[in-house]
Amino acid sequence: MAIERTFSIIKPDATERNLTGAINALIEKAGLRIVAQKRIRMTREQAETFYAVHKARPFFGELVDFMISAPVVVQVLEGENAVLKHRDVMGATDPSKAADGTIRKLHAKSIGENSVHGSDAAETAVIEIAQFFSGNEIVG
């Protein structure tokens, strides 16, 4: 299996509760390397672009408002099978359905305020990473 990259966001509900380190520890324990990371305040335009695929969903407005409500930490994670590995350590989108030991089971507040985002496929990761990082900010 080739080394792969995925895109990760530590969301406002987690940064507000000072959980960046706790979540990074779980990411690293899962065998992923954080090869880029920055704490930013997302603009409304950035959040709307990032979640454009969900534009028609009833929760879109709520999702965008939430993502700009406090700082987020955007990250690039690297490792073998990184997309799947990260999805495994995040757990299900709905924390009530997430497996024991996952980030969302341990820390998420609800399906909306679910602490973390991860790319759903390697192709999506390329697009998501490019929205927030230039090549020279990623150091593997």
The residues assigned a catalytic role are 117
Interface with ligand CMP (CB under 6 A), residue from 22, 34, 35, 63: 63
Per DSSP, what are the bridge partners of residue 117?
9
Question: 39: which 2 tokens?
Answer: 């704490």
Q: Please choose, out of 13-21, 38-46, 56-64, 76-84, the segment that lies near ligand CMP by the rule CB under 6 A.
A: 56-64
Contact 122, 83 (CB under 8 A): yes
61 in helix, strand or coil? helix
Instruction: Kindly determine how many residues on this chain lie close enough to bind ligand CMP according to the rule CB under 6 A.
Output: 9
Sheet with 72-80, side-by-side order of all strands: 33-40, 72-80, 3-10, 116-118
Residue 59 in the binding site for ligand CMP (CB under 6 A) = yes
Q: Rounded to whole angstroms, how far apart are CA atoms 120 and 93? A: 12
Interface with ligand CMP (CB under 6 A), residue from 106, 111, 122, 138: 111
Nearer of residues 111 and 140 to ligand CMP, judged by Cβ: 111
Burial of residue 64, with CB atoms counted within 10 A of its CB: 0-12 exposed, 13-18 middle, 19 or more buried: buried
Residue in this structure with the two tokens 């985002």, named with its chain if needed = 117
**Chain centre distance of CA 32:** 13
In the complex, the smallest distance separating the C-beta of residue 54 from ligand CMP, rounded to whole angstroms, is 6
Nearer of residues 24 and 135 to ligand CMP, judged by Cβ: 24
Q: Please choose, out of 12-20, 74-82, 109-117, 129-137, the segment that lies near ligand CMP by the rule CB under 6 A.
A: 109-117
Residues that bind ligand CMP (CB under 6 A): 54, 59, 62-63, 93, 111-112, 114, 117
